[in-house]
Chain A
Amino acid sequence: MIDVKQILNIAHYEIMRIFRERVLLAILFIVPLLYASMFGLVYVSAILQHVPLGIVDLDHSQESRAVVSAFENTPNFQVIPQVSTYADLEAGMKNGLVRAGVVIPADYSQKLAQHQLTQILTVYDGSNLIYGFNTRKYFQQVLNTFSAEHTAAYLSGLGMTKQEIVNVMDTVSYSMQVWYNPTFSYATFIYIGLVLMTLQQIGLLGVGLTVTREKEENSWLQFLCAAVPQWKIFIGKALPYFIANFFNFGLLLWIAARFVNVKIEGSVGLILLLGLLFDLIIVSVGFIVSVYFPNSLLVTRYFMLISVPIFVASGYSWPSTHIPAVINTLLRTMPYTWMAEAFRLLTVKNLGFEYIADKIMVLILMAAATTFFALTFSKRRKPPAQIGPVVNSALDYPNKNF
């Protein structure tokens, strides 16, 4: 009974601290919202459409206009009328006016009429491969349709009836189904990864300062010289951050599903379990770092810098099958890698427990290990030493109020 009271007291004063340090309060409750809305706005359109396309029609025949209209009639492209010559296309591609181009040769209709091989050049901008890959896919789609129309026209020229043509052309039909994300929504793909990274960063930056701050203000000695056991200090100090993070987890997922239209399926129980495990790991790691790092500036600096490398190398965007084994192995030590993958399998693929059991197991082990170290940190500190002319690495950092 009294035990719980002591923990709640520590938690109570930690909460008071959070509310008194307004920047910290903002980092815990406003920045996640800010980031989530910002990323949400960036990806809300979700599907890359209206790729600016320049068409160079050197033929100006009825046949070539058929090609042009094939591109005009798809929402995937937006034909930019300013481009009409090859030079325009080159200039437009250079200054970003267009991101893709189609060149119809001058002898197009002539060769078609003579049943000679002719070619339509398709060009896409390789400097941004999100444009590039999507454009290539769109080209393939338009051209498949266009080819089919062409074949049908040719066969009808041979005197075949409509039904005959359909029979020939549909002898083999290919149905391409894209599972899990059929609309190629970029938001469904990337947004959750960013949200989880935001939660990790906010969590670490919050709880990461909880002990360093006390060290800087010397009040850490009050904890060390009182008979209060270390596990109570950890639970008490980490509890507010744990709750705040979990609240943010729910809030950001709600934003994702409600406003950014991210696909979130799967069992709510498992989503909550993953959230709790991830939260526990973040809070424990942050606390441990806070206990062993000398000051808040170092914690802030190092924690800030880890987000990009972890996100890029985790295999969340560029698939881990195409990343060298060394980097994969290294990144498997990061909880984010497991969390992001498990979460995506759960919410996008809507898989059951048995498919992510291994990942949950790893997260449980990580949570167990990190909480163990956080609960049993040593209450005897290494005495702070003055070692040579070193700045910002010991107990203090530049602060106007000191």
Chain B
Amino acid sequence: MEPVIRVTNLAQKIGHKLLFQGISFEVQPGECFGIFGTRGAGKTSLVHILAGIDRFKSGQVAILGFNIKKTEKFKRSLGLVTQESSLFRDMTVVENLDFIAALKKASRAAVREMIESFQLQEFLTKPVTSLDIGVLQRVSLACALLNQPKLLILDEIIKDIDLFSRNLILQELEQFLAAGGTCVSTFSNFVFSQSFSKVAWLEGGEMTIYDPEGAQAEWNRQVKYYAEQSGRYDD
């Protein structure tokens, strides 16, 4: 079966900083692919490349079989939740849903369905700038799912949010995966590592792929290593 994402030798340079120096990976259909890294490792930059937002220096990126440098077609089957909210700040919740549905050519029915699933009824006429982070992320995910994407790209979606919203979001994500969707998500808190089928560890411009257990082992090894250094700084 063809992979949903195939990245070959991707290099990215931002300003004068070489961010990735030739990373390669594949994401298979139905996978929930986690991208881990500390702040500044380039998780968001990678997401922006995969979602077809940013240019990149060199390499090949194929999503759903499309070479993303050549076409926009893959975006029809794409959903994206950004780390920094990218909802329209001058609009209310319902206007955001309606407008983004228009951009994605999604139907009114899809909008109603999302309002239902994410329990947004009471927030509809509120401006998005006044929402709590949990509700905001629910709206963001609802917008991302409007076009019934095959691939969902999430950037730190459940960091620091209230438990109710988090539960709701995870529940919807499970449904999405169960229905055959593929998901790529970044995370910076290692607690979440076990929810993924694979973990890609970004560090120093390189990517290493682990299965969840392997990633946990590596994490434990590093924690132990630094503990043994007992506060002395390594160069």
Contact = CB atoms under 8 A, between A and B. Distances in A.
Whether A and B touch (Cβ < 8 Å) is answered with yes
Interface of A: 2, 5-6, 9-10, 13, 16-17, 20-21, 214, 217-229, 378-387
Q: Which of A13, A223, A385 has the most CB atoms of chain B within a 10 A radius of its CB?
A: A13
A387 B105 contact: no
B82 interface: yes
A227 B16 contact: no
Contacts of A10: 102-103
Contact of B55 (A5, A217, A382, A386): A382
A383 B55 contact: yes
Contact of B102 (A9, A229, A379): A9
Interface stretch (B27-35, B69-77, B172-180, B202-210): B69-77
B87 A226 contact: no
Interface in B58-91: 69, 72-73, 75-76, 78, 80, 82, 84-91
Given A224-B53, A225-B53, A383-B55, A219 B105 contact: no
B24 interface: no
Report the interface size class on chain B. 35 or more
A383 B88 contact: no
B76 A227 contact: yes
Contact of B15 (A217, A223, A225, A385): A385
Contact of A221 (B12, B16, B53): B53
A383 B54 contact: yes
Of all A-B residue pairs in the complex, the 3 with the closest CB atoms, nearest first, are A385-B15, A9-B102, A227-B75
Contacts of A224: 51-53
Given A222-B100, A383-B12, A6 B53 contact: no
Given A221-B53, A224-B52, A225-B53, A385 B103 contact: no
13 contacts: A6-B103, A9-B103, A13-B91, A20-B90, A222-B88, A222-B143, A225-B51, A227-B76, A229-B72, A378-B55, A382-B54, A384-B14, A387-B15
Contacts of B53: 221, 224-225, 380-381
B88 A219 contact: yes
Contacts of B100: 222, 226
Contacts of B54: 380-383
A217 B102 contact: no
Nearest to A223: B103
B25 interface: no
B232 interface: no
B52 A13 contact: no
B95 interface: yes
B103 to A, nearest CB: 4
A387 B52 contact: no
A387 B72 contact: no
Given A225-B52, A381-B54, 18 more contacts: A10-B103, A16-B90, A20-B90, A21-B90, A217-B89, A218-B82, A218-B85, A221-B82, A222-B143, A223-B103, A224-B52, A226-B103, A227-B72, A229-B72, A379-B72, A380-B69, A383-B45, A383-B55
A6 B100 CA distance: 10
Interface string B90-102: 1100010001101
B64 to A, nearest CB: 12
B83 to A, nearest CB: 10
A222 B85 contact: no
A16 B85 contact: no
B17 interface: yes
A257 to B, nearest CB: 38
A16 B98 CA distance: 13
A22 B99 CA distance: 21
B87 to A, nearest CB: 6
A6 B134 CA distance: 30
Contact of B86 (A17, A218, A382, A386): A218
A219 B99 CA distance: 12
Given A6-B103, A223-B103, A218 B84 contact: yes
A382 B13 CA distance: 10
A374 B116 CA distance: 39
Given A380-B52, A380-B53, A386 B102 contact: no
A161 B82 CA distance: 100
Nearest to B57: A383
Given A229-B72, A380-B52, A380-B53, A219 B103 contact: no
Contact of B14 (A20, A225, A227, A385): A385
A6 B105 contact: yes
B72 A219 contact: no
Contacts of B90: 16-17, 20-21, 217
A226 B82 contact: no
B48 A383 contact: yes
B52 to A, nearest CB: 6
B80 to A, nearest CB: 5
A226 B85 CA distance: 16
A280 B78 CA distance: 34
A13 B95 contact: yes
Contacts of B82: 218, 221
A217 B89 CA distance: 7
